[in-house]
Amino acid sequence: MGSGNGFFSTQEFNLDSKWLIDPQQLFVGPKIGEGAHAKVYEGKYKNQNVAIKVVRRGETPEEIARREGRFAREVAMLSKVQHKNLVKFIGACKEPVMVIVTELLLGGTLRKYLLNMRPKCLDMCVAIGFALDIARAMECLHSHGIIHWDLKPENLILTEDHKTVKLADFGLAREESLTEMMTAETGTYRWMAPELYSTVTLRQGEKKHYNHKVDAYSFAIVLWELIHNKLPFEGMSNLQAAYAAAFKNVRPSAEDLPEDLAAIVTSCWQEDPNARPNFTQIIQMLLHYLSTVSPPELVMMPPKRTTSENVVFPPESPGTSSLMAARDDVAETQKTVDGEDRRKGFFFCFNQCY
């Protein structure tokens, strides 16, 4: 695994000095998320509220090399692109532990937002507005030759006013020019493009069978979910949904959608990746549809829920659904960060609670 710029080396960690975080100025507050390979905390860096992702190094040499490579790749992706619909990267450091620091988004994940709203659906104009946010983020990534590979509601975070969606979690992102092979852990089956399943079992060195159009397929599933506020392939497990999509060409029903909108969804999830539109085309199609519908009605935001009412959804990949403060879940611990004298230093937290 490698790249000429050194970002993808597991042996060294190269990062422009402007992105290097000083651990001495990093203060850790309450934990707001945990995945298989990382924990995410709310905290402060130079008096700015931030999300702090601490990546576990692993136990075996192979595991350490794999996680260091993934960490370097994610940092490279985050530092390479900036866009209003991508989570803002603040910096990273590799010692004493691997840390990624980003802006703290207070609106929660799109997944949780939609779940709190059920059985109601988003106003159509609001749903299309969110879809445009996502499509613009993806257009930016693809213009830099980056495939996200893990586009799903858990990786889409809302701003505090619930008016903007930002794409997060670049742990699986790749440069399209690289020929690194897929692994079974890549992506989340329910949202993954069908062509990815055949690459999972390819031998190292065989020609890859995917390109940036895998993200267009995932976008179609997310768009369908935005409109219907239902889990795609409802009633199926993740693996059953993957099998149905890949080997039976099954898709969620688009029959009840307006013609123009159905055309967008079905074109994006076509079986032939080359027949799917790119995100510049998707944006134009969404804008055209938006121009044909009436202005959005006043939409009631889902009510705040207390800790006892909330369901906690563990992240499915490191950092997923964790680049935000779940204010309804950590209200009691928020004062830990607000009080300067009560904050934990980074090294204290590492030694005491990691």
List, for residues 22-34, the tens digit of each pLDDT value: 999 999 999 887 7
Structure tokens at 206: 């065989």
Beta-bridged to residue 175, according to DSSP, are: 146
240 C-beta neighbours (distance < 10 Å), count: 14
Residue 13's pLDDT is 61
What φ, ψ does residue 256 adopt, rounded to 5°? -90, 5
* Number of domains observed in the structure of the chain: 1
Structure tokens at 68: 């260091």
Ramachandran sector of residue 49 (left: φ over 0; alpha: ψ -120 to 50; beta: rest): beta
Tell whether 126 is covered by a domain.
yes
Q: Are residues 74 and 170 in contact, defined by beta-carbon separation less than 8 angstroms? A: yes
Tell whether 76 is covered by a domain.
no
Structure tokens at 281: 């085309």
Please give the helix or strand (H or E) that residue 158 lies within, else none: strand 156-158
Q: How confident is the model at residue 105 (pLDDT cuts 50, 70, 90)?
A: very high
**What mean pLDDT, rounded, does the chain reach?**
77
Residue-number span of the structural domain to which 287 is assigned: 110-292
Q: How far apart are CA 257 and CA 259, in angstroms?
A: 6
**SS3 of residue 89 by DSSP:** strand
Task: For residue 203, give every residue at least 6 positions away whose Cβ sits within 8 Å of its Cβ, in sequence order, or none.
Answer: none
Residue 317's pLDDT is 40
Residue 209's pLDDT is 60
Q: Are residues 323 and 42 in contact, defined by beta-carbon separation less than 8 angstroms? A: no
Tell whether 273 is covered by a domain.
yes
Look at residue 277 and tell me whether its pLDDT is greater than 90: yes
Q: How far apart are CA 193 and CA 269, in angstroms?
A: 8
Q: How confident is the model at residue 118 (pLDDT cuts 50, 70, 90)?
A: very high
Tell whether 343 is covered by a domain.
no
Q: The domain spanning residue 272 has which CATH number?
A: 1.10.510.10
Percentage above 90 pLDDT, the chain: 44
DSSP letters of 182-220?
P-TTSS-GGGS-THHHHHHTPPTTSPP---THHHHHHHH
Section 159-165 average pLDDT: 96
Looking up tokens 């060294």 gives 12
pTM of the model: 0.75
Tell whether 337 is covered by a domain.
no
Look at residue 354 and tell me whether its pLDDT is greater than 60: no
**SS3 of residue 6 by DSSP:** coil
> What residues act catalytically?
150
Beta-bridged to residue 174, according to DSSP, are: 147
Tell whether 251 is covered by a domain.
yes
Structure tokens at 181: 């092979």
Is 53 known to sit in a ligand binding site?
A: yes
Residue 237's pLDDT is 87
Q: How far apart are CA 121 and CA 297, in angstroms?
A: 13
CA separation (Å) from 328 to 106, 110, 304, 343? 10, 15, 7, 20
